[in-house]
Amino acid sequence: MGSEDTDGLIYDWNTADKAAPSQPPQITFDDETLRDGLQSPSVHDPPVDAKKEILDRMASIGIDTANLGLPGAGESHCNDIMELALHIRDAGLPIRPNVACRTVISDIEPVADMIQRSGLPILACCFIGSSPIRQFTESWTLDILLGHVEKSLTWARDHQIPVMFVTEDTTRAHPDDLRALYGLAIDLGAERLCVCDTCGHATPDGTRQVVSFVKSIVEAKGREVGIDWHGHRDRNLDIINCMAAVEAGATEIHGAALGVGERAGNAPMDLILANFNLLGWIDRDLTALGDYVLTCSKHLKVPVPHNYPIFGHDAFLTGTGVHAAAVIKALKKGDAWLADRVYSGVPAADFGQRQRVSVGYMSGKSNVLFWLEANNYDATDDALVERVFAAAKNSDHLLTDDELHAIASEEH
């Protein structure tokens, strides 16, 4: 079906009677799978060769920057980070590496050696707690925090280490504290500021307000400084908050494969990319996104939930009679575009997937006929059709291909 033939087939309430949104500036993506993702209580820390494979998959989907770890966690972590940085360099991956550091010189010092050995502009993401509740718990004052920032970022600047300044728990921090902390970081040469929803507290309105506030700090300083958004999914508002952050002025979005990370996890990078692509905010080939998801799932030992959007087993599989019948009719028209959309809000082919039809207790005969034809059985054999249909109606689940083959192959 040509594009001129598809007009009017979908009425889009997402954009109806709404002024066309302004195209956001170029958005970049920072993948936290190998740092914050590994802080998940349920993932396994993979060997360094597996981490290199994950980096390769990141490159295949256009990830711009990747956090390689926390140098302050110890010598083995520093060794892995160094190997990963060298892999990025030697494989020519178009990914800029970054690392997480507390705002103390001892955490930042190893980055100087990594930059010298790799020749890469590794970004030191220097983080510090900012919210009143954290300050009270730690017996910190704002002056103590500012002292740490001034000492550590001055050292980084003097040793030509590029810095992203990160305030933890930004979405629960007082604006006066944020103005002081971010303002000092800008004065000391930070090239990016990261706004963090560390505890997954923010709503979309809160996200817009805090990102807009940080943007006003940058504008008042008169320097070109990037703004990042790092969101967690404790309230399951992670993806909508990423969208709100971009609308408010964030230019780099953080995420991790399958949403792994501390507690309930991070915003899932795979679904961020898919949604931003569907919004028209980015334009890239994401047919390799499934490989990225499966590679991370394998090496982190995190199963993909069966109902996970786009990449779960059930995402594009239907056995319900009415739904399947519509997909089958579209496929019989030889129209892949139509089949991908008639019962799906996400076009499977855009992400390297396909619509699938199976047979189960809620199926009609059209499911049976379609499955038999697709698997080279004689769909005109009425006895065969009835046998499969009866088995499906008597089952309590959607039959697997193996089960259907066994039923279809029974001797009678």
pLDDT one digit per residue (tens) for the chain, 412 residues: 554 566 788 887 787 766 655 667 899 999 999 999 999 999 999 999 999 999 999 999 999 999 999 998 888 899 999 999 999 999 999 999 999 999 999 999 999 999 999 999 999 999 999 999 999 999 999 999 999 999 999 999 999 999 999 999 999 999 999 999 999 999 999 999 999 999 999 999 999 999 999 999 999 999 999 999 999 999 999 999 999 999 999 999 999 999 999 999 999 999 999 999 999 999 999 999 999 999 999 999 999 999 999 999 999 998 887 888 888 888 888 888 998 998 899 999 999 998 888 898 998 888 898 889 889 999 899 999 999 999 999 999 999 999 999 999 886 5
Q: How far apart (Å, rounded) are the C-alpha atoms in residues 196 and 190?
A: 16
Q: How far apart (Å, rounded) are the C-alpha atoms in residues 236 and 242?
A: 12
> In the 8-state DSSP scheme, what is residue 39?
G
> In the 8-state DSSP scheme, what is residue 308?
-
Residues of the chain with CATH 3.20.20.70: 28-300
The residue to which tokens 């899932």 are assigned: 268
Q: What is the DSSP string of 225-289?
A: -EEEEEEB-TTS-HHHHHHHHHHHT--EEEEBGGG-SSTT-BPBHHHHHHHHHHHTS-----TTH
Cα–Cα–Cα angle for 151, 35, 177, nearest 5°?
A: 40
Cβ proximity of 130 and 171 under 8 Å: no
Cβ proximity of 66 and 291 under 8 Å: no
CATH architecture of 28-300: Alpha-Beta Barrel (3.20)
- CA-based nearest residue to 213, from 180, 243, 237, 257: 180
CB burial string 133-152: b at 16+ within 10 A, e below: ebbeeeebeeeebbebbeeb
Residues 6+ apart with CB under 8 A from 399: 319, 358, 359, 360, 391, 392, 407
Cα–Cα–Cα angle for 103, 107, 112, nearest 5°?
A: 110
